[in-house]
Every structure is written in C-alpha cells, then in structure tokens.
Amino acid sequence: MENLHKDYREHGTPPGGETAGLSPEEIRALIQENENLRQELRIRDNDILSHDQVFDSIVSGTLHVILVMSVTTFRAEFITSNLENALGVQTGEALEDVRRISPAFEDIEKYDRREETFIHRTNGSRRQYLIYVIHLPYGRSDRVAVVLLCTSNAAKGDLEEMMLQQTQDINRAAGYFLASMSHDFRVPISSISGFVMLLMKNAENPSKVREYAHRIGVACQEIMGTVDQILDMSRIGSGDLNMESEEFGLGLMLEEVSTIFSSLANARNQKFVFSTKGIEHDIVLGDRSRIMEMLRGVLSNAVKFTPSGGRVELTVTGTPDREGREVALTFEVRDTGIGMDRESVESYFRSESSEDVRSEPGRGTGIWLTRKLVSMMGGTISAQSLPGEGTIIWIRLRLSMVNGSDPDFWNQRGIHRMLIVNSNLQEGARIRNLMESAGVEALSISSGYGTVKMIEQSSAEEMGFDLILLDEDIQDLEWREVLGNLRAMSWIKMPVIFLMSGRTSMAREIEGTGVSHVLQKPFYFSALHRLAEQAFEERKDAGQADDQTDDYSLEGLRFLAAEDNAMNADLLKELLEMSGARCEIARNGRAALAMFSNSRPGYYDAILMDIQMPVMDGCTAASAIRSLDREDAKTIQIYAMTAGTLEEDVARSFEAGMNAHIPKPVDIHVIKNHIRRKKDIRS
C-alpha cells in the first residue's frame, strides 16, 4: 500500500495503469482510507506514550515495572520511573537495551501471556516476578508492552532494608549530636571545676573570690543556654514548637543579649561591640524568646570560636516600610575567629539535616537550631567565611511594628514636658521627635551651661520639666556639674533624671547625684518607656517594686524542702537560712508527706517540692498533702522545683495542687518573689 501511495503521488496513476482494474475514484478512496488508518495508528501510538504519567502513578511506591519495547531491537520506548528503585538498573541504560534488566528479555516474544521468573538485582539479590507480555494490536508488529509484577517477599525486605538504613542514619545523627552536646557541656563544666579549685586556694582574697564566682556564673549561663537549645531541638523534632506573637521592646531585648555576651566575651578576653542603625520606634510583634534564642545560637559560636584577644560584633539595622507597619531587620554577627572553609559554610547554612552540620563540635547544632527558628519566622540566614579570617553571619527578619505613642501612658505618670540634653544634635532631635509623636512636649539642647540656664528659666516661668534625659557626654560641663547646679537650685521642683550612658555599671557613680536611673545607649523608645514606668512605681509605692526583692527578708518563716539530691538540699537550706528562714529537709516525697502530716497546723509556712524523687515523686506527694484532713493542707503554699520546663511538666505540677513552678537551678530571688506576693495578697 505504501508503494501504491508513492506511485500515485509521483505519477498520478496506480501501478499497472488501467490494467489494475480500479478506477481513479476507487484508488483515491483507497488511499484516503489508508491515510485514515495510518492517522489512527499514529494517534493510538502517541496515546500509549502519553500515558507515561498514568503508568508511573499506577506503580508508584511499588516494585512493579511497566515498559513498552521492541522484541527485535530490544530498545524500549517507555519504562516507568521506578525501575532503578525496583531492580537497581539505570533507566537510560535499559532504554538502550532492555536485556540489561534481565536475560529473560532475550526471548520475551516467545513468552506466553503470563510467565513467572526470577530477576537478579545489580546488588546480587533476586526477586520473583510475574511477567505479562501484551502484543500491541496496532503499530509495528515487534512492539510489546511488558508488565513486571513483583510476587516475592521483596517488598517486606525492602521495607526492612529502608528501616535499617533509617535507623543507622538516626544513630549516626544521634552520635554527632551527642558528641557536640558533650563538648558544649564539658567545656563550661571544666571551667567551673577549675575555678572551684582556685576559689578554695584563694578563699581569703575577696577580689579573687568575686572574680572566680563571676566566671563560674558565666559558665553556668553557657550550660543553661545549651539545655535550652536541646529542649527547643526536641520540640522542633516533635513538631511542638510554636511561634508566639507578642508585643515586646526590641531595644530592651537587644540590651539583654548585649549584656550577656559582653560578659561572656570579657571572660574570654575578647572585645564585644554592639551597635544599631535605623531602630526608631522599637516596639514590635514577634516571638521574643525565640529571637533571643536565635541570636544566642550565632553569638555563642562567635564567642566560642574566637581566640583570646579577638573581636565579636553585633550590628542590628532596621528599615521601616513606607506605611510604618513593618520593619526589615538585619542582624549581623561578625567575628575574628577561626573561620570556615567553603564546604563547611555550605554544610552549616544550606544542608537540610542536623547530621550534616558536624564539622566542629558544638558549632553545628546551634546553627541548625538557629536556621530552623529563622525559617519558622519566615526569615533568611546567610554567611561568609574564610579559614583563619573569621566569619560574618546575616539574619534577616520582618516584624510588625506597634504604635507605642500612647499619650495616656505619659500623662498618667505625670510626664508632660521633658528636656533632652545631648551633644549629638542629630540624636537629640531624633529623640525629641519620637517623644513629641508620643504626646510629650520635648526640647533638646547640647550645652551644659545652656541646660542649667534653661531649667532655671523654665522653673521661674512655672513651666518646669518633669523628666530630663541627660547624656553623660555633653559640652561645656561634665554631667555631675550640671546635676550639682540643679541641686543648688532649692526653689525648683526636682524632675526625674535619667542618665544616658554606654557603660553597664554606674550604680556607684550616680549615687547621691539625683539620677533616678541609667538609660543604656543606644536610645530605645521601649527602654525609656520601661524606666519611666519603673520610676513612677518607685515614687508611688517605694519598696514594693520587684527589683527590690534583694532586701526582702524571710525572717521567721519555716520551709519544708523535699529534695533527694544531698548537694542541692544543702545549697537550698543555706540560701534560705542566709535570708533569715528555717529549713527542714525531706529526702523523698513520702518523707515530706510524713513530716507535714506529723507537724501541727501552721508549723510550716511553705513547701518546696522537687518533682523527680525516689520512693514517692513530688506530684504524688503534693496531691497526697492536699488530700489530708487538716485545715492547712488546702492553703499551704507548695512550690514545684524541677529541671523540667516543658509545658506538660508545668501542667502536671499544677494539676497536683502546687501553687507555682520554680525551674532549676533554684534562684532564691524567685522564691522571695513568690512569698512576698502571697503576703501582699493576704494583707
């Protein structure tokens, strides 16, 4: 027919001319019918090949394979994409010659409709397959479709193999994780051990004792930070870590981070530099604790891997959008440490699993956690580093801004007019504009002499200032001289005075000067907001603010402390007795229950209950105490002491009838706060 069609196209007559016995019309009809058949074959042929995705979806997740091949050339037109997973053969190689799958394809055209055989995999194992050979009714006569149905127990074997591989991967990742965590714990514990020895040798030297005690405290902060990291990694792994959206002062948070890492850097003889750019109204919405955790992750690595005499910098840049609804934040952490090669940077900042971030003990897990937190906040993290030249890490986030301009806040605290004294004219104008937008009349000046004159004149005109924000670096006069001149003006009403300083410890320097509080540089609206509230509370009811808890005495109170660890029990007893209280120790929950049951009502003022103890745990003991038939069993304060900080741990302690949850290591100030608040409620 093909020749007939060709001859007719070229010569206009069929072979044999008129002797063929067919009229031209019949020939044309025959040719048209042939064309129709060929078109139908092409459509069906393409239809088979267009079903690739359908066939792939049919065998997806199984060890079955479907292919279309020629029994003469042994080339395949189509093979489902799971071939390599099922039999270990590359799809490209099998398309060239299906006999690379199995010698069984050599005589595939001789197979009946169904045949059973074993196919050996490339790794040496074998699988039993039921082979269906379907001769296609259209197209070339040598084309067949072959369906390989796996009938052996291979699926189970593959599942076991996959589970074994996953177990090995998990064990390997756990090994790297534990090695890293072991390093993170051993380093500060080693420091504590060493400084304890030095304390014992220098017990008669007060300055050395203070220095060593401070360094021990820094090491303890490192350990607590590592514990927090482990808890957060556990929550991320189980899907229980949720991002909070709360209003907080970004500046206050950054001050706290700066204070912590400045102390850590000083302990390692490093220079820590903190600066901000473009942070105006710094009250934002976000997860404060997670952002702090994120910064701790990168800053702790920067301090840890920077040698003595090195430098660590934290620079935070804010860029508000035009509408003032969001601020784009860039946190840049720069160090002069050991640095990383390109492969390590790729591994730490682009790999998808914590197993890959393991080159340096203690570094990978912190970065992995930071990356996860940044990702959960919708941000990005990137890095630049060279071996021996340090590392730069950029974290970029977007946070919603909160309008902190509430005139009622300042009016209620008696702050209507304020003076900003700052030798930096641009900074003074910036603060003045912020305060005016908050509804406070604000003036700014750079001269010390001018400040004294302006305050004197304003008081004479009965337009005195309620608040003075005095920078420690001003022109003409030293800040103490300015305040000395103000104190000499006995006829003026002394305003609240905040001293702006870049130094962290100025308690002794401001004593007796008239300064109410020190406002840390750089200026943050939220920090001023907090200090104004604090100063107002102190004026309103001196001695009642939480930050005066140090002076609160536990004199005359008796505590029952249930603690099975002898060292912790001795430490707790000594802390309580130093604060004027008496303390009796129970070594387990059952002993605590017995001691309370055998005491007269009102003998104990409060119970400190460890949660994990032998014989009887703390929750069971607390519940049993609440169930006793005596008047104080329902009212005595029971405080849970536990290293467990997960929400379920806290919930269990409250369900058992405890009044509060005190995390370990126990802070005596936290105990004092709970006791004082309870007494305030009673009074």
pLDDT of 201 > 60? The answer is: yes
Number of other CB atoms surrounding residue 629 within 10 Å: 5
Q: Each residue of 309-353: pLDDT tens digit?
A: 999 999 999 988 877 788 899 999 999 999 888 887 877 765 444
Give residue 334's identity as a one-letter amino acid code: R
Mean pLDDT (the chain, rounded): 78
Q: Each residue of 58-111: pLDDT tens digit?
A: 777 778 898 888 888 999 988 988 888 888 888 889 999 998 888 888 877 766
Contact of 468 with 495, CB cutoff 8 Å: yes
Pairing relation of β-strands 606-610 and 637-642? parallel
pLDDT of 631 > 90? The answer is: no
CA distances from 634 to 240, 593, 626, 657 (A): 34, 14, 5, 9
Q: Each residue of 109-128: pLDDT tens digit?
A: 766 556 677 777 766 677 88
Q: Each residue of 306-318: pLDDT tens digit?
A: 999 999 999 999 9
Q: Each residue of 544-585: pLDDT tens digit?
A: 444 444 556 788 899 999 998 888 888 889 889 988 899 999
Q: 421 by DSSP, 3-state: which? A: strand
Contact of 30 with 42, CB cutoff 8 Å: no
CA distance 80 to 91: 8
Structure tokens at 106: 């050599």
Answer whether the bond into residue 665 is a cis peptide, omega within 30°.
yes
Residue matched to tokens 């670096």: 473
CA distance 318 to 611: 44
Helix (H) or strand (E) holding 526: helix 525-540
Give the pLDDT band of residue 652 (cuts 50, 70, 90): confident
CA distance 430 to 26: 97
DSSP 206: H
Task: Point out the least confidently predicted range of 396-405, 510-519, 672-681.
Answer: 672-681
Structure tokens at 120: 């050996």
- For the purposes of burial, counting CB atoms within 10 Å of the CB of 204, is it exposed (0-12), middle (13-18) or buried (19 or more)? exposed
Answer whether the bond into residue 522 is a cis peptide, omega within 30°.
yes
Give the pLDDT band of residue 542 (cuts 50, 70, 90): very low
CA distance 461 to 624: 70
pLDDT score at 618? 92
CA dihedral for 15, 17, 23, 28, sign (positive or negative): positive
pLDDT score at 458? 84
CA distance 89 to 569: 66
Q: How far apart are the first and last CA of the chain?
A: 112
Radius of gyration of the CA atoms of the chain, in A: 39
pLDDT score at 183? 58
Per cent of the chain over pLDDT 90 is 17
Can you tell me the mean pLDDT for 368-379? 84
Q: Does the reported pTM lie above 0.75?
A: no
pLDDT of 492 > 70? The answer is: yes
CA distances from 325 to 361, 400, 653, 683 (A): 41, 6, 41, 45
CA distance 70 to 76: 6
Number of other CB atoms surrounding residue 378 within 10 Å: 11
Contact of 280 with 320, CB cutoff 8 Å: yes
pLDDT score at 88? 84
pLDDT score at 561? 94
pLDDT of 267 > 50? The answer is: yes
pLDDT score at 113? 56
Can you tell me the mean pLDDT for 240-248? 76
Where does 379-477 show beta strands of DSSP type E?
A: 380-386, 390-401, 417-421, 441-445, 467-471
Q: Each residue of 354-364: pLDDT tens digit?
A: 444 444 444 44
pLDDT score at 551? 56
pLDDT score at 620? 94
Where does 55-142 show beta strands of DSSP type E?
A: 65-70, 76-79, 114-120, 126-135
How many residues in the chain? 683
